[in-house]
Copies of this chain bind each other. A is one copy, B any other.
Amino acid sequence: MTTTIIIGGVAGGMSTATRLRRNDEDMEIIVLEASGNVSFANCGLPYYVGNVITDRDALLLQTPEALKDRFNLDVRVNTRAVSIDRDNQTITTEQGETLKYDTLVLSPGANPIQLPIDGIEHALTLRNVEDVDRIVAATEGAKSAAVIGGGFIGLELAENFTHRGIKTTVIERGPEIMAPLDSEMSAIVRKHLEANGVTVLLNADTTRIDTNSITLSDGRTIDSDITIAAVGVAPANELAVMAGLEVGERGGIVVDDEQRTSDPKIFALGDAAEKRDGIDGTDTLVPLAQTANRHGRMVADIIAGRDTKRTGTLGTSIVGLFGLSAASVGWNERRARQKGHNLRLIHLHPADHAGYYPGASTVHLKLVVNADTDEILGAQGVGQAGVDKRIDVIATAMRAGLKATDLADLELSYAPQFSSAKDPVNMAGFINDNMIRGEKTVQYYEIEEKLAQGFELIDVRETSEYAAGAIPGSRNIPLNTLRDHIDELRGKKIIVHCQTGVRSHTATSLLRNNEIDVSNLDGGYVTWAAVQ
């Protein structure tokens, strides 16, 4: 009988264990979990803090006993592996027990990054059920909270503290929250958080944490009966490093396309392991449950002798905050620029479903395209409904290698409750197609410079819309009267814009057909206004 030992009993580890048993009835399968629970709903933990999930047991998806009955697994909680002896193929636990393996799977997850600041011991982190119990206990009687870090977990906690009536401040070190999004997209999320009572401080550096307050580098103090440190996670690579396994620059355990570490008897997966970027194949870290689960299944199949390999990771992710969702896949503009690509950028703001059917809301969508190859490099979406769908569709298109132009031809289900006859994803494809055919666009951050260079900015919205708020330096010529102004625009360099870019596309076509040098402001007033 062979033995597989799996270190870590949550997403990746437990997927490996159960699949391995389905593959092989006879193998001895031992799962060691350092915390007191296995298979817990780690993505649900913030919602238990906010009483959105009211039943603590709902977080505990499996018990060691049930896993023994159903899968004949030997699952040991509160059991931390402290060393690996690769020569003898054994691991040793904190309790001093030594266990022999034929195959070892490392799925220990990631650790919250520790801030090197005074009073950090007053800050709580969120990783497992014990952590959430501590946070819930701390909310009793708390009036204020500070969340250091404007990423997914920090923002989810901020929402849930607010649900409990706790006045919450998010402290973000960077210029904007939600790093996976570009700033004009995450600004929409930030304003929504603020509208729901969360204070968000940008470019803010915490220097000291006390019991009931935190202090920033500029001297401000923020009331904080509970302080959360959620500035990101780092691969839990301690065991791997000690055992001499290869570890990457950013700490991820190096694995090949079969998730094998530098020791062929040891696999690694989940947040602790490096991933292969789905776009350019470089090494990357993507701490997502979906990938961990998928790789768990795959590692179990490889251990069982099957020939299978990982695909690259696109890092598709989503967060829901006060009814708004924000999702992304692939690279954002910032990253795509770092990689040195020529980009086609597309912002659009269509309704999630037909405007004539009640309840429509705006889907803010951004597409990042390689201008030389038409490859879709990434997409971002923000809105109250239908964002998950559009990002999933684009993620599928990216995985399949569809080009941006192909988005125009996707046949997506349409009835007025669900979409428009031209779905937002189709619209993104149409805009891309227009650009390939020569329609020039400018980005919101280029406006000031263009105006300084003598471009004229024409706002083709209705007079009433213009009066309600306009871009400084713009001139209002409503679209339906634009034909009357052709002659006076000849010879000038024109930028047109409307609310979202749809009417200004018609204006752009009209002026181009009259041989006027014209660009469309991508995303229109809405994108420009998002960052004001």
A329 at the interface (CB under 8 A from B): yes
A144 at the interface (CB under 8 A from B): no
What is the interface size of chain A, counting residues whose CB is below 8 A from a CB of the partner? 90
Complex contacts, A391 vs chain B, CB 8 Å: 413
Alpha-carbon gap, A53 to B356, bound state (A): 7
A492-524 interface bits toward B, Cβ cutoff 8 Å, 1 = contact, 0 = none? 000000000000011001100110000000000
B315 touches A413 (CB 8 A): no
B389 touches A388 (CB 8 A): yes
**Stretch of A41-49, A100-108, A189-197 at the chain-chain interface:** A41-49
Alpha-carbon gap, A388 to B479, bound state (A): 35
Alpha-carbon gap, A357 to B397, bound state (A): 28
A319 at the interface (CB under 8 A from B): yes
B430 touches A47 (CB 8 A): no
A297 at the interface (CB under 8 A from B): yes
Distance of A320 from chain B, by nearest CB (Å): 4
Alpha-carbon gap, A320 to B61, bound state (A): 33
Alpha-carbon gap, A249 to B320, bound state (A): 51
**Stretch of A17-25, A91-99, A214-222, A335-343 at the chain-chain interface:** A17-25
Complex contacts, A416 vs chain B, CB 8 Å: 41, 43-44, 47
Give A66's nearest chain B residue, CB to CB: B480
The contact of A70 among B392, B415, B430, B506, by CB within 8 Å, is B506
A224 at the interface (CB under 8 A from B): no
A115 at the interface (CB under 8 A from B): no
Chain copies in the assembled complex: 2
Complex contacts, A356 vs chain B, CB 8 Å: 41, 44, 53, 58-59, 61
Alpha-carbon gap, A410 to B395, bound state (A): 8
A118-129 interface bits toward B, Cβ cutoff 8 Å, 1 = contact, 0 = none? 000000000000
Alpha-carbon gap, A270 to B416, bound state (A): 18
A314 at the interface (CB under 8 A from B): yes
Distance of A13 from chain B, by nearest CB (Å): 13
A506 touches B400 (CB 8 A): no
A317 touches B392 (CB 8 A): no
- Chain A residues near B (Cβ < 8 Å): 11, 18, 21-26, 41, 43-44, 47, 52-53, 58-59, 61, 66, 69-72, 152, 278, 288-294, 297, 306, 311, 313-320, 325, 327, 329, 354, 356-358, 388-389, 391-393, 395-397, 399-402, 406, 408-419, 421-423, 426, 430, 437, 479-481, 483, 505-506, 509-510, 513-514
Between-chain CB contacts (< 8 Å), 13 pairs: A41-B416, A43-B354, A52-B358, A53-B357, A294-B408, A306-B437, A313-B411, A314-B411, A320-B415, A320-B418, A327-B413, A392-B413, A399-B406
